[in-house]
Chains A and B, each alone.
Chain A
């Protein structure tokens, strides 16, 4: 067992070209020269060659184990980041975005109800604002690295209290019966659209970008490990062929064991990483795409709902360049993106159409299908409410929008609920796929290290056995 020594002794051959030797102190120079001479002498004798071969094999195997453990650990940690850090942060950012849009929509609903603002509506608004603030604090803590995210969070923190102040001013004026309240609410809505939502969107995009880069890190092939593994296998093969040619012995048990260990690690690495990669890829299809499209659809429906409410709040006070009601025009625009025009199936390329295409099982498709149906119902009810308002029956139009039953608000609530279900489903699909992927890498780093050391030991023992024949 003292044979591994040569490995250590031979290790320094790298500095073989030792021109600095003469400059060294005499003793060192002599020692170097002696070592070099010994090596040269060794290379000319069979035992010496065997020692060198053993050392090289052991070195290659240890290097293989080390590189594999290191690269796999890096990928596993990136996969951990995906699951535990960047995806939750991206989901939180989406939640901030959604909470803000929901707060704005709810504020407008409560406003329309006037002095009779239902308690549930008020509570929903307050919950939205509390949730957004809470998630902003969390995001600020979690996103230490990114400048973009930090500046978006700062913008949101500055604009949110201004927004809530404007909503309170709107509410106070409205309760006094002053039309100024409507002007305040529209101004608050403008701040939401022009400042808060774009900043929340920026935060979401920045966090989602980081998710993408963590995915990239986790999925990149460990080429260095695979390369060293193949190299180690080739070296083992050559050593065994040499041994066979010289001794006519077919098997060298030590070298065979080393080959086995290396093959196992190499296969494990390739298959494990392949499985992890496909798990992550499938989670990315759900995470970065399905979730993203569903989030956008949900926010799109929130904004359309906000526009619908504000059309009644503004009562024609704000017009587009061609003289249409600005909020009604914005509603139509939002609905166009969400589901497209016409009836029945969503227009190709619309958010709900994409969400349905991305849903890859019935459990995921069902809520999206239901949402499509309810958005169409919402559109029908909306046309009815608009016709009533345009016909001069404002007071009858209001219950068609914010009433308990048969209103567009009821349709919207259903759509929101269905999209939430779809999101929950995709989120759990994501989590499962990502966990499966991550699981494929578990134990690989440690296993590779242990097996590589065993392989190195096998190689050294195998060579040692041949060496002993020269004693």
Chain B
């Protein structure tokens, strides 16, 4: 990895910058959650341009909801404090069952994927689920993993089929009306993945006349349709299918979450992320809106997960799964609370 590092590192350096400004954030949070939200948005970062539009899903996808939610959804990533009832009915339900039911992905390399050699699920999201199981049940192994397809994540939570979803799920204004999210445990953004040496340099007019691949129904698809920059679009069922098309020379670029794209780059050293992320996508653990105690409990787990500086479990998981694809990160994203 040489030329690719710059692009890949950008969001992580942004995370680092943001983490260093944690005291400021904490103060702002204490002053009031609306203020905190504003502060979070305004903290100057290297990717400031992208951050000016936080969590605004493209109009094509969730347009109708935007007008309503815009006023009371200044910061969807703000969650419930890990204080008060941490052992309520939802946590008791899990304890009675003796297993945490977690909806995960099996196809996202380094996040949630099943290693064909061992048959084991592993990745950054999976480690987090184990940490949650350990906190609630005292045993990281007491988990039942269910593979939940992207478009079934919200129904699976709402119907109670799963307790939590840890599946590279972006927190946004539309979704917080349907499910409850933990604090953000990762911050990703849409970015462009190309073969090394490609004339495509970013999500800009260098895409003119090129063929771009996105996953069907993804926010990336909506974004490319909104601003095609002269490119033509190919959609495929799964984001990984885009890498197949890219390797076969059927498309010139892939637009994707950089977190997932980093997992793709980790499978093919001859591709790289270019340009800056042009959206902000905080990932959260999704839970049922009624399971308030579970949300607080998971946030507590996340607090523990983040703490410990360079030796925090978060940093260790990051080093293990993501550092090679995304480069070095200094710290996890700071939690934000709304109560």
Q: Which A residues are closer than 8 A to B by beta carbons?
A: 114-115, 169, 173-175, 177-184, 186-187, 314-319, 323, 325-326, 389-392, 394-395, 398
Cα of A179 to Cα of B105 in the assembled complex, Å: 11
Chain A residues with CB below 8 A from B147, complex form: 315-316, 389, 392, 394
Whether B114 and A115, one on each chain, are in contact in the complex, defined by CB atoms closer than 8 angstroms, is no
Q: Which of A180, A323, A389 contacts B243 (CB 8 A)?
A: A180
Nearest CB in chain B: distance from A168 CB, A: 13
Whether B244 and A180, one on each chain, are in contact in the complex, defined by CB atoms closer than 8 angstroms, is yes
Among the stretches B12-20, B71-79, B222-230, B234-242, the one at the interface with A is B234-242
Question: Interface SS of chain A: helix, strand, loop or mixed?
Answer: helix
Chain B residues with CB below 8 A from A183, complex form: 107, 238, 240-241, 243-244
Whether B237 and A317, one on each chain, are in contact in the complex, defined by CB atoms closer than 8 angstroms, is yes
Cα of A10 to Cα of B43 in the assembled complex, Å: 119
User: Is B176 located at the chain interface by the 8 A CB criterion?
Assistant: no
Whether B152 and A179, one on each chain, are in contact in the complex, defined by CB atoms closer than 8 angstroms, is no
Chain A residues with CB below 8 A from B267, complex form: 173, 178-180
Q: Considering only CB atoms, which chain B residue lies closest to A319 in the complex? A: B149
Nearest CB in chain A: distance from B248 CB, A: 8
Cα of A114 to Cα of B120 in the assembled complex, Å: 13
Cα of A392 to Cα of B100 in the assembled complex, Å: 11
Q: Given A177-B117, A178-B109, A323–B151 Cβ distance below 8 Å? A: yes
Question: Interface SS of chain B: helix, strand, loop or mixed?
Answer: mixed
User: Is B119 located at the chain interface by the 8 A CB criterion?
Assistant: yes
Among A177, A180, A318, A395, find the residue whose CB has the most chain B CB atoms closer than 10 A: A180
Q: Considering only CB atoms, which chain B residue lies closest to A317 in the complex? A: B238
Q: Which of B101, B109, B151 contacts A180 (CB 8 A)?
A: B109
Q: Considering only CB atoms, which chain A residue lies closest to B148 in the complex? A: A316
Whether A115 and B149, one on each chain, are in contact in the complex, defined by CB atoms closer than 8 angstroms, is no
Cα of A187 to Cα of B213 in the assembled complex, Å: 15
Cα of A34 to Cα of B122 in the assembled complex, Å: 111
Q: Which of B151, B241, B264 contacts A187 (CB 8 A)?
A: B241
Q: Which B residues are closer than 8 A to A by beta carbons?
A: 101, 106-109, 113-117, 119-121, 144-149, 151-152, 237-238, 240-241, 243-244, 247, 264, 267-268
Chain A residues with CB below 8 A from B119, complex form: 114, 394-395, 398
Whether B151 and A315, one on each chain, are in contact in the complex, defined by CB atoms closer than 8 angstroms, is no
Nearest CB in chain B: distance from A112 CB, A: 9
Whether A392 and B237, one on each chain, are in contact in the complex, defined by CB atoms closer than 8 angstroms, is no
Q: Given A316-B149, A319-B151, A115–B241 Cβ distance below 8 Å? A: no
Q: Given A315-B147, A317-B149, A394-B119, A179–B113 Cβ distance below 8 Å? A: yes
Q: Given A316-B147, A319-B149, A179–B109 Cβ distance below 8 Å? A: yes
Q: Given A180-B244, A392-B101, A316–B145 Cβ distance below 8 Å? A: no
Nearest CB in chain A: distance from B301 CB, A: 21
Known: A178-B109, A317-B237. 17 other contacts (CB 8 A): A179-B106, A179-B114, A180-B244, A180-B264, A180-B268, A182-B107, A182-B116, A182-B240, A183-B244, A184-B244, A316-B149, A319-B151, A323-B152, A326-B237, A389-B147, A394-B106, A395-B120
Nearest CB in chain B: distance from A324 CB, A: 9
Chain A residues with CB below 8 A from B113, complex form: 179
Chain B residues with CB below 8 A from A392, complex form: 101, 144-147
Q: Given A115-B116, A392-B101, A394-B106, A317–B240 Cβ distance below 8 Å? A: yes
Cα of A174 to Cα of B117 in the assembled complex, Å: 8
Whether A115 and B117, one on each chain, are in contact in the complex, defined by CB atoms closer than 8 angstroms, is yes
Cα of A391 to Cα of B108 in the assembled complex, Å: 20
Cα of A34 to Cα of B194 in the assembled complex, Å: 100
Whether A174 and B237, one on each chain, are in contact in the complex, defined by CB atoms closer than 8 angstroms, is no
Cα of A325 to Cα of B146 in the assembled complex, Å: 14
Chain B residues with CB below 8 A from A314, complex form: 107, 238
Cα of A187 to Cα of B247 in the assembled complex, Å: 12
Chain B residues with CB below 8 A from A180, complex form: 109, 240, 243-244, 264, 267-268
Cα of A316 to Cα of B150 in the assembled complex, Å: 9
Cα of A326 to Cα of B149 in the assembled complex, Å: 11
Nearest CB in chain B: distance from A218 CB, A: 49
